[in-house]
Amino acid sequence: MRKKITVVGAGNVGASCALWLAQRGLADIVLVDAPIAKTAPVGKALDLLQAGPIVGYNARITGTAEGSYDGTENSDVIVITAGFPRKPGMSREDLVGANQAIISDVLSKALPRSPNAYLIVVTNPLDSMTYLAYKLSGLPKHRVMGQAGILDSARMAAFIAMELNVSIENVQTVVLGGHGDEMVPLTRYSTVFGRPITEWLPPERVNAIVERTRKGGGEIVNLLGTSAYYAPGAAAAKMAEAIIMDSKLIVPASAYLEGEYGYKDLCFGVPVKLGAGGVEQIIEFPLTDEERAMADKSVKLIRETMAALKF
C-alpha cells in the first residue's frame, strides 16, 4: 500500500511542505484546510499534481473542500501547520487560545480516520501546541513531535556557511530549547568540517550569528510582512521523510520529556532520532553551567505560555 501524508493547513507553510514532500516522492499527499478556505486546498493540490510531469515526481496529490477530512483515512503522518499568527495587540494568551481551538478541532477530525498516524506539529506557539497535541490525542509520546530545532539549526548553519564562505554540507549545528527567542544554540557542538565554529570565528562573530539565529523568524517577518514558509515547510517535510523512510535521522525537535535533561511534563527542543517508530530516542548532551542557565530560561518561558492552555 502506498504511504500517505496529510498536511492540515493549505496556506504558505502547508503548501510549501506539500511541495517538498512531493519532490521527495515519499508518499501520496492530502491537503486539508478550514471551511473558510473553501476549495483552495483542491486548487493547490491540482496545481502541485500538474507540476509532477515537469519536475519528475509521481506523488498523487489531492485536496479537500470546505474543511472535509474525507480522503485522509489511514494517513501515516499528519503534519499540522494550521493556525493563527500572532498579530499586533494580541497577547500570548489570545494566541494560545485561538490555536488551541484549531489543534483540538484538527485532532477530533483527523485522528479517528488515521488512528495509527504520527503527528508533526508546526503551529505556534510550537512547544505549547505540541504539548497540547500530545495531551489531547492520547497517543504515546513517540508519536507526537514538533518542528522546531531543525529549522533553527538550519538557519544557524546557513549564517555560518555565509560567514565562512563554505559549503553548507560542511556545517553541522545544534540548537536546543524553545522555538523562538528562547532557543539555546550550542556553539561548541556546532562544527565546520568537524571543527567547532569557535575555532573558526572570533567570539563577537559567533555571538552575532547566535543572535541572528534567535531573531531569524522575526527578520523574515520584517522583510516579507509574513512568517517564513519555504524553510519551515522543508523542515516539516524532512521530519516526515525520516519517519516514512525509517532513516534514523538525528535532528532537534520538540519532544515530550519525562526527566531527560532534568525536565518533566513539557515539550522541549532536544536532539531526537527519527525513524519508523517516530521519536525513537532522545539524545542527551552534557550541558555547561551557561548552557544549563539558557535551557532553564527557555523552559521557564515555555511554561509561562503553557499556563494559558485550558484543559
The structural domains of the chain, with segments of one domain joined by +, span 4-146
Mean pLDDT within 20-47: 96
Distance CA(63)–CA(212), nearest Å, equals 37
β-partners of residue 32 are 8
For the purposes of burial, counting CB atoms within 10 Å of the CB of 154, is it exposed (0-12), middle (13-18) or buried (19 or more)? buried
Considering the four listed CATH numbers 3.40.50.720, 3.40.640.10, 1.10.3720.10, 3.30.450.40, the one that applies to the domain covering 4-146 is 3.40.50.720
Residues recognised as catalytic: 179
The single residue listed with the C-alpha cell 561548541 is: 188
Distance CA(275)–CA(266), nearest Å, equals 22
Whether 7 and 29 have beta carbons less than 8 Å apart is answered as yes
For the purposes of burial, counting CB atoms within 10 Å of the CB of 51, is it exposed (0-12), middle (13-18) or buried (19 or more)? middle
Distance CA(77)–CA(39), nearest Å, equals 23
The pLDDT score that the predictor gives to residue 88 is 64
pLDDT band at 31 (very low <50, low <70, confident <90, very high): very high
Mean pLDDT within 58-67: 96
pTM, entire model:
0.96
Least confident range of 114-118, 222-226, 259-263, 274-278? 222-226
The better pLDDT of the pair 217, 164 is held by 164
Whether 272 and 294 have beta carbons less than 8 Å apart is answered as no
pLDDT in tens, 93-145: 788 999 999 999 999 999 999 999 999 999 999 999 999 999 999 999 999 99
Distance CA(286)–CA(102), nearest Å, equals 37
Position 197 pLDDT exceeds 90: yes
